[in-house]
Amino acid sequence: MPRAVVTGAAGGIGRATVATFEAAGWEVAGLDRDGPEPVDVADPESIGAAFARIGARWEALDALICVAGINHRSPVAEMHVADWDRMMDVNLGGMFLAAKFGVPLQARAETPAIVTMASISGHVASPDYPAYVTTKAAVESFTWALAQEVGDRGIRVNAVAPGWVDAGFTGAALDQMDDPEPLYAAAREAHLLGRMAEPEEVAAAILWLASPRASFVTGQTLFVDGGLMRKH
């Protein structure tokens, strides 16, 4: 049975990813601040201890799935330094720490893989989200660098870049709206397929990249964006 670690496992895409992998016969360890054993991916001691527990339980880690991330809306001049720093710590630092502690556990895996969570926001910047778009652009650079670093060990590293997803940050925005129709209308206009993605569709792409079916794919970004990038 292949084994995977999923960070951000309590979020919309994270939950869908855990369910998708388990349905495909994987054993999954989900890490999240809101999980039964809370893990802060930005805290070296917290995430290091989590991977130590996983390493004691599993002989090998087949897939490391880095989904954990946060968002914060604020123009540059009004953003608190603490908010900027926290986003960098979680979206980038958390990915670095997951790789730091996860890669050594992949040494015994037959077809090890890492999948990171990028975003179309790393390519199509949005006003009032400077920290988020910065982290998502950097996620891809980190992914490419890591792919070069661990390729000779047989570890594949790829990123998934979703468009708008009806979960997570977008779902939270919808929940706060009295009338969500304008946002759905904007999604229909933004994507060639005329809608937002479901989290399960993103999870399916993650599963493919993590599986042996993508055995010769590394250092790539897979856009799961319903054609959004083709409209820019």
Respond yes or no: is residue 129 known to be catalytic.
no
Which residue shows structure tokens 């209308």? 185
Residue 74 tokens read as 């604020």
At residue 33 the predicted structure's pLDDT band, cuts being 50, 70 and 90, is: very high
Residue range 79-116, pLDDT digits in tens: 999 999 999 999 999 999 999 999 999 999 999 999 99
Give me the helix-helix angle, 168-175 and 12-23, nearest 10°. 130
Residue range 124-141, pLDDT digits in tens: 877 888 999 999 999 999
Residue range 158-207, pLDDT digits in tens: 999 999 898 765 655 555 556 667 777 877 788 899 888 999 999 999 99
Q: What angle do CA 88, 92, 98 make, to 5 degrees?
A: 135
Of 8, 57, 70, nearest in space to 34 by CA? 8
Helix (H) or strand (E) holding 66: strand 63-66
Q: Report the pLDDT value the prediction gives residue 231, as an integer from 0 to 100.
A: 75
Residue range 59-74, pLDDT digits in tens: 999 999 999 999 888 8
Q: Report the pLDDT value the prediction gives residue 166, as an integer from 0 to 100.
A: 85
Which residue shows structure tokens 């993508």? 214
Is 123:105 a contact under the CB 8 Å cutoff? no
Of 45, 19, 49, 47, nearest in space to 32 by CA? 47
Catalytic-labelled residue, pool 21, 129, 132, 164: 132
| pTM of the predicted model as reported, rounded to 2 decimal places | 0.93
Q: Report the pLDDT value the prediction gives residue 223, as an integer from 0 to 100.
A: 97
Residues in the chain: 232
Domains within the chain, CATH numbers bracketed: 3-225 (3.40.50.720)
